[in-house]
Amino acid sequence: MTLQDEKNRWEEETLKPVLDRFPERRASFETLSGVPLPRLALPPEAGADYMENLGFPGEYPYTRGVQPSMYRGRFWTMRQYAGYASAEESNARYRYLLEQGQTGLSVAFDLPTQIGYDADDEIALGEVGKVGVSISSLDDMETLFREIPLERVSTSMTINAPAAVLLAMYIAVAKRQGADIYKLRGTIQNDILKEYTARGTYIFPPKPSMRLITDVFQFCQREVPRWNTISISGYHIREAGSTAVQEVAFTLANGIAYVQAALDVGLDVDSFASQLSFFFNAHNNFLEEIAKYRAARRLWAKNMRERFGAQNPKSWMLRFHTQTAGSTLTAQQPENNVVRVTLQALAAVMGGTQSLHTNSMDEALWLPTEKSVRVALRTQQIIAHESGAADSIDPLAGSYLIEQLTDDIERQAEAYIQKIDDLGGALAAIERGYTQGEIQEAAYQYQQAVEHGEQIIVGVNDFQVEEQIELEQLKVDPAIETAQHQRLAKIRQRRDSARVLALLTRLEQSAHGDENLIPLFIECVENDITLGEICGVLRKAWGEYQPGNWV
């Protein structure tokens, strides 16, 4: 069969069914000069290795994208990460972003919420609402999504150790809205391994943490099948200083560990694998980043099919969200960050991302202002509507350089994964400090290159100017913390104390057993039990993780 015959087959069997459901955005695609743009360009001649390594979009090994039509059918989800201060203020920001054309929500939680403490816990003093929104109760969550119909919007929540509890709150809010929870769409990050490796917002030891994750897998497979049960995150690994190769390798190694954990508790791989998602960084090296996404897709597809024996093609797909690299933003000449973010976002689009967050230019200085957030969103919209980058299904396929970079990144990442396998898997590699050590060494080498002038950062170690920063600053009112204390006091006063005690007792007993905890979490939050109270019971039952103390 010739390559053209293969293309004809792909168009009829794979592309056409998708276009029947999602017609192309317009009748014809062409350049500003009127030159027609084909859906998919192919070389005049290609050998068997072309089909083996590249294939067609929407088909194994997914090098060219997980969707047959990619952005010709519909754009990626424009999902700006936002959240600060109170639920009321964050709700106003979400509704503003939706009015400005954002197509999905992404929630940032403050530090106490991320590590399972209520806003009135003494350990939360001074941190309430500072790096995200403060959520302690179902009332908070309901306020956060006021006038936002959860059945019709896709929501991503960047939460890990207490992810199952926040998901329970989200489901409870949806039920109060009268939504069909079967139709809910969104993602919880729920990736604890990268917390041990790169980020640090863990609570529990690995064994019970992995139980919470597999409980979510099992519950959502039955009750919320459109929900992405985990966002396996390379973003924070990269922010901690890894290379692009390490980002791919360590992220996929963590993904392999989660799949194995689910199999170990008796789940069938094809029952949950399609609900796994990934989260990658978009860094500065434009060509390497594009190749990184292609290599990650291909490598994951191979592992799911060959290592785990998944039969459903949806189980082979690596679907991912991308965020531009916060670590590359500079406080010096912050307007230059608009250029950095644009290049990074374009790399993510050319690499085939499913959703995208673009950072704001002032994030190295303070919480983003409304204007800077709007510019960040407009960056995505300009790429989508003006650049032409979304008008061809896979615009850079066949580039000799891109394909060589893809092959090289895949090969080097495979070598890392083999090393991690030899150590006993991702958990064992983290326990031994291997993963952390590799990231730290890469970060050190990069910093040395910056300090010696071998790596130029414009405005930082070259092309400096004398400047006075005069951007508008967004501040969090300290009164937010007091208001949260008062709200929690009223909740505790009005609720049924006997019912609360009974549920918390039942939760402690269940934590020592093996039942799925998600339905109980939902019942707890619906009875005004707070995030901190739930996590407090689990801390008592399971203990807290201490580096080097693996239970």
Q: Please give the full DSSP string across 513-537, using - where no structure is assigned.
A: S-S--HHHHHHHHHTT--HHHHHHH
Predicted local confidence at residue 48, as pLDDT: 64
**Which range of residues forms the domain containing residue 431?**
74-389+405-451
CATH number at residue 327: 3.20.20.240
How many C-beta atoms lie closer than 10 Å to residue 400's C-beta?
Answer: 7
Number of domains in the chain: 1
- Measured CA to CA, the distance from residue 5 to residue 283 in angstroms comes to 38
Question: Would 141 be classed as within a structural domain?
Answer: yes
Residue with the two structure tokens 């969090």:
476
How many C-beta atoms lie closer than 10 Å to residue 207's C-beta?
Answer: 12
- Helices 531-542, 518-526: inter-axial angle, 10-degree rounding: 140
**Mind listing the pLDDT tens digit for each residue in 393-411?**
999 988 999 999 999 999 9
Predicted local confidence at residue 550, as pLDDT: 47
- List the Cα angle 403/409/415 in 5-degree steps: 140
Predicted local confidence at residue 477, as pLDDT: 84
Write out residues in the chain with pLDDT < 50, as ranges: 550-551
Four-residue CA torsion sign, 206, 253, 318, 38 = positive
Phi, psi of 43 (to 5 degrees): -70, 155
Task: Answer whether 274's CB lies under 8 Å from 317's CB.
Answer: yes
Do the strands 154-158 and 227-228 form a parallel or antiparallel pair, or are they unpaired? unpaired
Residue 415: which residues within 8 A CB-CB, separation 6 or more?
A: 249
Question: Would 243 be classed as within a structural domain?
Answer: yes
Longest dimension (CA), the chain: 75
Question: Would 345 be classed as within a structural domain?
Answer: yes
Question: Would 486 be classed as within a structural domain?
Answer: no
End-to-end CA distance of the chain: 55
Question: Would 85 be classed as within a structural domain?
Answer: yes
Question: Would 182 be classed as within a structural domain?
Answer: yes
Question: pTM for the full model?
Answer: 0.95
Q: How many CA atoms lie within 13 A of 188 on its CB side?
A: 25
Buried b (16+ CB within 10 A) or exposed e, 492-526: beeeeeeebeebbeebeebbeeeebbbebbbbbbb
Phi/psi class of residue 203: alpha, beta or left (left: φ > 0; alpha: ψ in -120 to 50)? Answer: alpha
Question: Would 13 be classed as within a structural domain?
Answer: no
Question: Would 154 be classed as within a structural domain?
Answer: yes
